[in-house]
């Protein structure tokens, strides 16, 4: 949590392997427990240059450009669309409506293919079905409520650039394949990580941290 950490490229294969047997119609498990581990020094060093090349995240919000690293200025939902542009909105509902026009190729899952945690009463109103199919979503609170941050394009996302470092408490990966590695950066120590498989949701407050405690409010960057 105290430096820009380094990801482990080798472990990315775990995400695909974990879901290799999943079909397009299989219902996701909304309360999955992620695999966790510690990054090796060699793997961290291999991506040092990549992490050093991050740029400011400039988003469009209410007709103005804002640097998300400086705060969301009142927005409650921010999304990076496939073109790389970032848009923020006052509510998650506004974000969903706008994304249907901005990124029409991205469609939401139907009740037949996506388990509704909201309907089951397990999570809050912004649960699995509030994350567009094909996206990766993070929420500020462990019950899938609060500010929502989401991406559709693969890459490395340093959460400090998005004003979400040490602030994510839950997340969903609505991709059919290709998961997410979520890391906590530590100075002079191996970086703990979670492997978030495709088609699963996670409550970080119940995800065990390798050295004790949980991953709640500890994620510094992800690769997807």
- For the chain, how many residues are written? 224
State residue 208's pLDDT score.
96
pLDDT digits (tens, 9 = 90+) for 136-149: 999 999 989 999 99
Rounded to two decimals, the pTM is 0.79
**68 phi/psi in degrees, rounded to 5:** -60, -25
Compute mean pLDDT per 10 residues along the chain, 224 residues long, and list them.
41 37 39 87 70 86 97 97 94 90 63 36 50 91 94 91 97 90 88 93 95 96 92
State residue 26's pLDDT score.
38
pLDDT digits (tens, 9 = 90+) for 10-60: 333 334 333 333 333 333 455 689 999 998 887 777 666 667 777 899 999
List of domains in the chain: 12-223 (2.60.20.10)
Whole-number Å distance between alpha carbons of 207 and 194: 8
Query: Which residue in 201, 221, 217 sits closest to 209, CA to CA?
Result: 217
State residue 78's pLDDT score.
98
State residue 20's pLDDT score.
34
How many DSSP H helices and E strands does the chain contain? Answer: 5, 13
Whole-number Å distance between alpha carbons of 41 and 19: 27
Whole-number Å distance between alpha carbons of 189 and 38: 9
């Amino acid at each position: 949590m105290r430096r820009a950490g380094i990801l482990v490229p080798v472990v990315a294969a775990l995400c695909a392997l974990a879901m290799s047997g999943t079909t397009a119609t299989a219902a996701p498990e909304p309360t999955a427990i992620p695999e966790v581990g510690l990054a090796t020094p060699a793997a961290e060093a291999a991506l040092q240059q990549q992490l050093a090349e991050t740029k400011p995240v400039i988003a469009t919000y209410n007709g103005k450009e804002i640097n998300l690293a400086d705060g969301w200025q009142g927005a409650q939902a921010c999304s990076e669309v496939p073109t790389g542009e970032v848009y923020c909105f006052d509510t998650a509902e506004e974000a969903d409506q706008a994304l249907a026009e901005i990124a029409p190729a991205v469609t939401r899952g139907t009740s037949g293919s996506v388990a509704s945690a909201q309907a089951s009463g397990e999570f809050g109103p912004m649960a699995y079905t509030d994350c567009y199919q094909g996206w990766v979503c993070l929420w500020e609170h462990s019950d899938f409520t609060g500010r929502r941050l989401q991406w559709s394009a693969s890459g490395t996302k340093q959460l400090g650039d998005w004003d979400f470092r040490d602030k994510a408490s839950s997340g969903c990966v609505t991709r059919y394949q290709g998961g997410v590695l979520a890391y906590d950066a530590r100075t002079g120590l191996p970086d703990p990580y979670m492997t978030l498989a495709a088609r699963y949701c996670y409550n970080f407050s119940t995800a065990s941290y390798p050295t004790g405690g949980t991953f709640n409010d500890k994620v510094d960057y992800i690769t997807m």
